[in-house]
Amino acid sequence: MDYKETAVNQNAEAYDASQIQVLEGLEAVRLRPGMYIGSTSSSGLHHLVYEIVDNAIDEALAGFCHHISVTIEAGNVIRVEDDGRGIPVDVQEQTGKPALEVVYTVLHAGGKFGGGGYKVSGGLHGVGASVVNALSEWLEVEVHRGGKIYQMKFSRGDKTQDMRIIGETDRTGTTVRFKPDPQMFEDTVYSYETLHVRMREQAFLNAGLRISIRDERPESADLPEEAREESMCYAGGIREFVSYLNRTKEPLHPDVIYVSGSREDSEAEIALQWNDSYNEAIVSFANNIHTPGGGMHETGFKTALTRVINAYGRKTGLLKEGESLSGEDCREGMTAVISVKLTNPQFEGQTKDKLGNSEMRTLVDGILQEKLTDFLEENPQVGRSVMDKALTASRAREAARKARESIRNKSGLESGGMPEKLKDCNEKDPALCEIYIVEGDSAAGSANQGRDSRFQAVLAMWGKMLNVEKARADKIYKNEKLQPVISALGAGIGEDFNLEKLRYHKVIIMADADVDGSHIRTLLLTFFFRYMRPLIENGYVYSAVPPLYKLTRGKTQRVAYSDEERDKVSAEMRGHNPNAKVDIARYKGLGEMSKDELWETTMDPEKRTLRRITLGDAIQADQIFSLLMGEEVEPRRAWIETNAKYVSNLDI
Ligand code: 1YM
C-alpha cells in the first residue's frame, strides 16, 4: 500500500489545529476512491452521506448537537444540517488557512474506512469530510458561529470560493450541501430507504439525538408522506431499537431487558427481548459502526447468555439433571442489540465488519454474567418464559434432526434421487449449471422447450407455497413443495447446508411480475434466506427479468423491459417517420410466451437480464420477510400500502 498511516493523538482536550495531519492530496482519493469509501457503486454513494453525518454525530457525542437533518434535494443533491457549535473558522498558524478549509481539503489521519477512533474526548473530527469533497462535483459549507454566517465552496476537492462572511445569525451550526460527482460514481441516484434505515439506526444508537430525513426530489412528490420523510428521536436508545425490531412479533415478556457497564475507557450496552418466532436476530455495533461479521462483543454475549440460562435452569430446577441447552436453543426467538464503545477498535475480516478486540469479549461477558443473572432472579416470570422457550427449542431441534435423517434415508437427499418436476441439464460442473425455478406449469413447459439443455435445468413450482415464517424446521424438511427444491439443489438445508454440494451456481427464480409471481418470489426468498442463507450470501440466487412489452412494426419485433424503454424503443422503431404505426402489446405473463420468445428475451445468456439477489442489509430483509409473512396483520397492511408502488423493486 502506498498510503501511510500516522498515529493521531486522541486524548486532546479540545480542538487544536495542529492535530490535523497532512497525509496525501485529495488526488489520491479521486484516483482510488474505493480505498476511501469502499466502492464507487451505490454503497459508496451512500457512504458519502454517512461521512458527513458522522461528523454531526460526533458533535452530538461531544454534547453540543441535538438535531441533525438530512435532505435529498432535487437532482440528488444532499443537504446535511446540524445545530452544533459550527466547524471552527479561525485561521491556523501552521497553514495560514481557516480550520474549515483544512477540514474540507486535507485528507486526515484515522481514515474512516476500517474504522475511526472513539471520539469521546473530541479532537479527531471530520476525517471523512475531505473525501466527500474530493468525490463531489461541487460542495458548499455554511457555518453559523460567533454571530456570523461563513460560507465556502469547492469543486472536486478544489476551493472555488474562499471562506467569506455572508451574514449574521443568532444560532450556531453547520450545513453542508454536495452533489456527488457523476465522473466518480456508477449511479448518482440516492435511495431514500437506504438512508432512512441508516439514520434510524443512528438515532437508536444515540439516545435522545433527533435525526430527521426528507426526500424533496420532485420524482418522489407522489409518494405518501411517510415514504418520504420522518423525524426520529428515541429517548430509550437501543431498548427502543429492540422493540422496533420485534414490532411485527409477539414478545414473550413485556419489557426489553437492558444491561450496561464500563471498564476503563470502554463501555458496552446490551438490550434483548425474546419473541414467539424461531429466529435469532443479533445486531451489533462498535463505535456506532455496524458489525455484521460479529466479533468479540458478540462472542462474549453468546457464551455468557448460554452459561447464564443454563445456570438459571439448574438453580430453579427447570432444567433436569444431565440436560443442557445449546446456545442456539437459548437464542431461539431472541432479538438483541449490542453496542460497544472503545478507543482503538480493530475491525477485521475481508469487509472489516468484525470486531477483533478481545477485551470486548471479557467486558460483555462480565456485564451479562452479573446483570442478566440478577435480572432473571428478580424477574422469575420472565425467567420462566425464557426457559420454556429454550426447552421447547431444544426438543424441536431434536425432532428436526430426526426428520432430516429420515428424509435423507427416504428421498435420497444425498444419493441423487431427483424430483419428478425437474428437467435436468447435461453438464455436471456446478459452476456452469443454471436452474430456473419456474412458477406455473405452462411457463415451465415453454422454459423446458426453449432452454439450452446442455447447462440449463428447469424445475416447475406450482400453487402457493408453504409459508416458512409460520412453520418450524421439522415441518419444512417434510414439506412436499420444498422437498423438490431441496433435492434439486442438492446441498441440504439448515445446519446441514453444504455449499460444496450445490448442483447449480445460478439459481434463477422466474415468476410473473404480478401479485402471484411476487408471492412465489418472496416465499422462495424467505425460504432461502432462512434455510439456505449461504446461497444468497454467495450471490448464487437471481431473479429472471422478463420483458413487459412487445413492440411490432411490420415484420420487425422488439421487446422492452420498462416503460421508459418501451417509449425509447417505440421512438427508434418509428425512426423519422412520425406516422408509422408501432403496435405495443403488454405481456400478460410468462405462460403466454412461446418457447422461442422466452429463450430470446429471458433465458439466452447473451441477451437476458438477470438481477442478482443480494442480502444487502440482512436486518432489513429479515424485517420485510417477517412483516409480510408473520402473524401481525396491521403492520403488514401498512407496509404494503406505503410500498405498493415499488414492491416489485424489492431488492432482497
Ligand atoms: C453537517 C456536518 O461537520 N459538524 C461539526 C463539525 C465539527 C465541529 C462541530 C466542531 C468540532 C470541534 C470544535 C472540536 C468539526 N470540527 C472539526 C475541527 N456537520 C459537522 N460541528 N468546534 C466544532 O473538535 O473541538 C472537524 S469537524 F477539526 F475543525 F475541529
Q: Which residues, 6 or more positions from 366, have their beta carbon under 8 angstroms from its beta carbon?
A: 261, 263, 304
- 20: confidence class by pLDDT, cuts 50, 70, 90: very low
Strand segments (E) across 47-118: 67-73, 77-82
**What is the overall mean pLDDT for the chain?**
86
Residues with CB under 6 A from ligand 1: 14-15, 52, 55-56, 59, 80, 82, 84-85, 87-88, 99, 103, 122-123, 125-126, 174, 176
Interatomic CA distance for residues 448 and 423, integer angstroms:
7
Of 362-376, 475-489, 587-601, which gets the smallest average pLDDT?
475-489
Pick the CATH number of 238-397 from 3.40.1350.10, 3.40.50.300, 3.30.230.10, 3.90.1310.10: 3.30.230.10
CB 486 within 8 A of CB 564: no
Which residue's alpha carbon is at the smallest distance from atom 15 of ligand 1?
A: 87
Residue 444 above 60 pLDDT?
Answer: yes
Active-site annotation, residues: 439, 512, 514, 516
Q: Which fold has domain 27-231?
A: Heat Shock Protein 90 (3.30.565)
Which residue's alpha carbon is at the smallest distance from atom 11 of ligand 1?
A: 87
For residue 461, the model assigns a pLDDT of 84
Q: Which residues, 6 or more positions from 330, have their beta carbon under 8 angstroms from its beta carbon?
A: 305, 306, 309, 310, 390, 393
- For the ranges 279-283, 611-615, 625-629, the maximum mean pLDDT occurs at 279-283
Which residue's alpha carbon is at the smallest distance from atom 12 of ligand 1?
A: 15
Interatomic CA distance for residues 511 and 521, integer angstroms:
7
Residue 96 above 90 pLDDT?
Answer: yes
What are all long-range contacts of 351-355, with beta carbons under 8 Å and residues at least 24 apart? 351/293, 352/113, 352/114, 352/115, 353/290, 353/291, 353/292, 353/293, 354/291, 354/293, 354/294, 354/295, 355/284, 355/286, 355/291, 355/294, 355/295, 355/296, 355/297, 355/298
- 482: confidence class by pLDDT, cuts 50, 70, 90: confident
For residue 640, the model assigns a pLDDT of 61
Strand segments (E) across 136-194: 136-145, 148-155, 158-168, 173-180
Mean pLDDT of 295-313: 97
Which residues partner with 12 through β-bridges? none
> Coil, helix or strand for 157?
coil
For residue 122, the model assigns a pLDDT of 33
pTM, 2 dp = 0.70
For residue 3, the model assigns a pLDDT of 30
Q: Distance, CA 62 to ligand 1 centroid (Å)?
A: 10
Angle, helix 296-316 to helix 358-378, in steps of 10 degrees: 30
**Strand duo 173-180 + 136-145: pairing:** antiparallel
Strand segments (E) across 201-263: 210-215, 229-232, 257-263
- 424: confidence class by pLDDT, cuts 50, 70, 90: very high
Tell me yes or no: is domain 413-545+611-618 CATH 3.40.50.670. yes
CB 467 within 8 A of CB 629: yes
- 13: burial class by Cβ within 10 Å (0-12, 13-18, 19+)? exposed
The tens digit of pLDDT for each residue in 544-584 reads 988 889 999 988 889 998 888 999 999 999 888 888 889 99
From 79, 125, 133, mutation site for ligand 1 pocket: most ligand atoms within 8 A of C-beta:
125
Q: What percent of the chain has pLDDT over 70?
A: 84
Domain ranges of the chain: 27-231, 238-397, 413-545+611-618, 547-586
